[in-house]
Structure 1
């Protein structure tokens, strides 16, 4: 029940309150002011979460980077529709970075997995390095995960860009969070399933694959 209540509160803060803030602010400050007001609830939520857990999670990073992009867009004379893309520009850049890393010796998921496991186990980084060299199937799995996440994040940005440029702003504010949450949720569920499948096929890597879903 506690988890469900927390999830519902997160949906209210990130879906309902931005729309309500936009509706209340537009008559007084116009579309740009409404968009800035719509960012206030998620920002406050991220600050509270940061204060509670004493760490910067992925959501906080996206929101903070989104604010920086919004300020930069305003300073450069950015239109309200460009401000709509502030979070997606960040996730899109990350998606492209994932895809570009596929041509490198080691993809980004390798470094994310190694960093995650290293925080949980003293020898975690060394074990990931050993698996990378000893098991080609393990390396292929990390490359596949990098491809899926890169493609998913890039798709999310492309869809939000299309909606931001062609839809009314109010409709975008209502629908786009469901698109983003849907894609992120699908990526997470696929990662959990694939991690379990990989763990079953690599029986001697107990504890290592647990870091992939982070």
Structure 2
């Protein structure tokens, strides 16, 4: 189920906006309207999720707000580069959420790891006991969450930098590649961290 959701997210939030943007640019549409059209795809998906689950989900609301803000910016004659930089708000917001959770009762990456463990058919009870009794186990997940937060802040900074330094038509493709690259680095680095000899036994046994 999680794999299907990931594929849907990639197709709806990364691939479809990119294809739509370059398709419209190929037929002569200006960069601003093409960017807004691309942004409308994840916005429509976010709205659908809100209506489907019938509850407020902050991430979906953020996507919708950014889409509306982007449209307002375009109508007011704003620079296309402002539209290109708006994606940085999403990753920065995720970084803030992860950072805020580091010293909470359950850091985000621990919650994600626990869900993954449960969905694999294994009981997360051992992890709950280790969380309650082992300061080192808690430290592992707090540092992992902090690392992901730092990676997301770096991603946001790079998005703004690219938005204001690269040619407008190049930025969407670069940001799409960046999305996959940052995610891959964070996933691999996270696994390396969890599998360090001093961590492996606590996490995987």
- The interval holding the TM-score normalised by the smaller chain is 0.5 to 0.7
Query: How much has 1:40 moved relative to structure 2?
Result: 6.6
TM (normalized to structure 2)? 0.68
Distance in structure 2 (CA, Å) of the matches to 1:179 and 1:62: 20
Distance 2:17 2:176 in 1: 6
Residues 86, 18 of structure 1: alpha-carbon distance in 2 compared, 3 angstrom cutoff: farther
The answer to whether the 8 A contact 1:91-1:154 is kept is yes
Number of residue equivalences: 183
User: What's the offset of the Cα at 1:171?
Assistant: 2.0
Q: Secondary structure at the match of 1:104?
A: coil
**Counterpart position of 1:102:** 102
Shift of 1:62: 7.2
Does the 8 Å CA contact 1:13/1:41 hold for their aligned counterparts?
A: no
CA change 1:64–1:181 in 2 (3 A) is farther
Task: After the TM superposition, list the runs of 4 or more consecutive aligned residues in structure 1 that deviate by more than 6 angstroms.
Answer: 40-44, 61-64
CA distance in 2, matches of 1:182, 1:14: 18
What is the aligned partner in structure 2 of residue 55 from structure 1?
none
Aligned twin of 2:146: 147
Q: Which segment drifts farther, 138-147 or 110-119?
A: 110-119
- Kept after mapping to 1: 8 A contact 2:16/2:41: yes
User: Which runs of no fewer than 5 residues in structure 1 stay unpaired?
Assistant: 1-5, 51-60, 207-214
Instruction: Tell me if the contact between 1:67 and 1:86 (Cα under 8 Å) persists in the aligned partners.
Output: no
Distance 1:24 1:37 in 2: 14
Change (3 A) 1:42 1:105: closer
Q: Deviations over 1:7-64 (max 9, x none)?
A: xx96x94696255225225x33x222111234477789x79xx9xxxxxxxxxx9799
| C-alpha contact (below 8 Å) 1:15/1:174 kept by paired residues | no
State the match for 1:211 in structure 2.
none
RMSD: 3.8
Over 3 Å counting, the alpha-carbon distance change for 1:120 and 1:64 in structure 2 is farther
Check conservation: 1:89, 1:157, Cα contact below 8 A. yes
Query: SS state of the match for residue 169, structure 1?
Result: coil
